[in-house]
Amino acid sequence: MEFDTTQRNILLIEDNKGDARLLEIMLEEVREQIFHIVWKDRLSLGLTRLKDGDIHVVLLDLDLPDSQGFDTFDKIHEIAPYVPIIVMTGLNDQKIAVDAVRKGAQDYLLKGQVTGDLVARAINYAIERKRLELEREKLIDQLRDALAKIKTLRGLIPICSFCKKIRDDSGFWKQIEIYVRDHSDAEFSHSICPDCAKKHYPSLYNEKINKKDETDPSVDKKGE
C-alpha cells in the first residue's frame, strides 16, 4: 500500500476530547510534515472509519467506552493487520502497553509525556517498521511457495528404463520434460548432446569435428 509521505493520515481513537485536541495542537507545530487527524471517540466508530482506507497509522487508547484492554487492540489489528498501531496509555497502564507491543503494536506513547516531534517520530518509525514487516512476510510466503514446488520433485519418481518417460500421480506416463514443467517453473530448450549426435547423425558429427580441427590452432596438421 503506497501513500503520499508528505502527509500522514492518522486515525486517533480516544474518548478524551482534551487529550485528542492536545495531540492535534502538538502535531500542528511539526514543520516537516502534514498530519491529518481523524478523531473517533468510540472503537466502533474507529473500526468503521478504518474500513474506508487511506489511514497511515492508528493512535489507540486501549480503554474506551465500548471496549477495554487487549480486546481493543485485537479488534483493530484483526480488521486492518497491515496498518501500524501505536498505543496511547497512561503511567498506570504502561505494562499493558508493553504487552500490546508484544502482541503486534508498533509502539506505545505515555500520555502527558510526549511532544509533537516525539509523536511525529514515533508515527514515521511505526510506518517504516510495519512496511518492513509486511515485506518480510511477503518474502517468507514466496519462499514457502518455492519450497512447496521443489518438494513435489522429491521422493521416488517412477521412470521407464527404456524411453525415460515418468509416471505421474494419476498413473499416466509423460515425457520427462513435460513432467518437470508441470511440477516446477523450469522450461526446456531442446538440443542434442555430442554422444547422441555421434550416434544418430554420424556424418554431421564428423563434419563438425573436422571443421573444428581445421580452425583450432592447437591441433597438429599433417605434414607439419
Residues 76 and 125 in one domain: yes
Shared domain check, 14 and 118:
yes
Q: Write down the mean pLDDT value for the chain.
A: 83
Please indicate, yes or no, if residue 144 is contained in any of the structural domains.
no
Asked if the structure places residue 207 within a domain, the reply is: yes
3 state DSSP class of 77: helix
pLDDT of residue 207: 74
- Structural domains counted in the chain: 2
State the CATH number of the domain containing residue 14.
3.40.50.2300
Same domain (yes/no): 14, 117: yes
d(CA 160, CA 173): 9
Distance separating alpha carbons of residues 187 and 82, to the nearest angstrom:
36
pLDDT of residue 151: 60
Domain-located, residue 201: yes
**28 and 122, same domain (yes or no):** yes
Segments in the chain below pLDDT 70: 1-6, 91, 149-155, 185, 211-224
Q: Would you state the pLDDT for residue 1?
A: 47
- For residue 218, the model assigns a pLDDT of 55
Q: Which domain holds residue 130?
A: 7-139
What pLDDT shows up at residue 155? Answer: 65
pLDDT at 189: 73
| Domain match, 134 and 189 both | no
Residue 181: inside a domain, yes or no?
yes
90 and 197 belong to one structural domain:
no
Domain termination site, one of 121, 139, 157: 139
pLDDT value for 170: 83
Query: pLDDT value at position 3?
Result: 47
What pLDDT score does 64 carry?
Answer: 93
Residues 72 and 64 sit within 8 Å (Cβ to Cβ):
yes
User: Are 30 and 130 contained in the same domain?
Assistant: yes
Domain contains 222 = no
Cell numbers 485528542: residue:
20
Q: What are phi and psi of 14, to 5 degrees?
A: -150, 125
Other beta carbons within 10 angstroms of residue 9's beta carbon come to 16
